[in-house]
Amino acid sequence: MSIRDLVRWGDARLLSQNEEVVSSDAGLAALIVDLLDTCHAAPGVGLAAPQIGVNRRVAVVDLSVGEDPSAIIVLVNPVILSTSGEQKEEEGCLSVPDVAEKVVRPAGVVVRAADADLRVREIEGSGLLARALSHETDHLNGILFVDRLRGLKKDLTWRKIERRRARGAW
């Protein structure tokens, strides 16, 4: 379909409420295709609807970045059911360009989400997949990865982002 403009930090749509999806329609199908096209073009391993300016509870994850269609995970109305353990790895976000920090995330997650046809299923992920599922579900709750940093690191990173944006980096 089409590659959409990415919404960057500072845009209120990243922090807005996202509407629950209640029907599987042409609009939902088109949104999912646009999310995948935009995610692959970026390139990134995941993208949430508010990042292309659509405040609906829809996101995609594709650790293969377009190489393997079977790796595509569509998340409609995702909810994290349970988490286990901890991992701390470097993470970034297409809405916060050129900023990467080590973020603590669960080592494993179980997510309940519907697919494009609104069939609800549970998705289990560990490692990078757990990180991506957490990161994209966070977006639908208005949470950015920087919000997951702790203490001084969080303050310094927010300041860095504000400075970059003020300088016109995006």
List the catalytic residues.
136
Taking the least distance from each CB to Ni ion, the nearer of 44 and 108 is 44
The minimum distance between CB 139 and Ni ion, in angstroms, equals 6
**The only residue of 93, 111, 132, 161 in contact with Ni ion, by rule CB under 5 A:** 93
Distance, CA of 31 to CA of 140 (rounded, Å): 15
**Which stretch in 12-20, 35-43, 69-77, 89-97 sits in contact with Ni ion by CB under 5 A?**
89-97
* Cis preceding-peptide flag for 97 (omega within 30 of 0): no
Residue 48 near residue 139, CB atoms below 8 Å: yes
> What is the DSSP code string of 86-104?
-EEEEEEETTEEEEEEEEE
Helix (H, G, I), strand (E, B) or coil at 157: helix
Which lies closer to Ni ion via its Cβ, residue 93 or residue 129? 93
Q: Which stretch binds Ni ion (CB under 5 A): 10-18, 34-42, 86-94, 120-128?
A: 86-94
Smallest CA-to-CA distance from 62 within 36, 38, 85 is with: 36
Question: What tokens does 60 get?
Answer: 């995609």
**Smallest gap, in angstroms, from Cβ of residue 136 to Ni ion?**
7
Smallest distance from Ni ion to CB 87, Å: 17
Going by C-alpha positions, the residue among 19, 5, 9, 36 that lies closest to residue 159 is 9
Q: What is the DSSP letter of 68?
A: -
> Quick one: which segment of 25-33, 62-70, 87-95, 148-156 binds Ni ion (CB under 5 A)?
87-95
By beta carbon distance, the residue nearest Ni ion is: 93
* CB nearer Ni ion, residue 24 or residue 170: 170
- Do 64 and 71 contact (CB within 8 A), yes or no? yes
Residue 39 vs 93, nearer CB to Ni ion:
93
Minimum distance between the CB of residue 117 and Ni ion, rounded to whole angstroms? 25
Report the interface residues with Ni ion, using CB under 5 A. 93
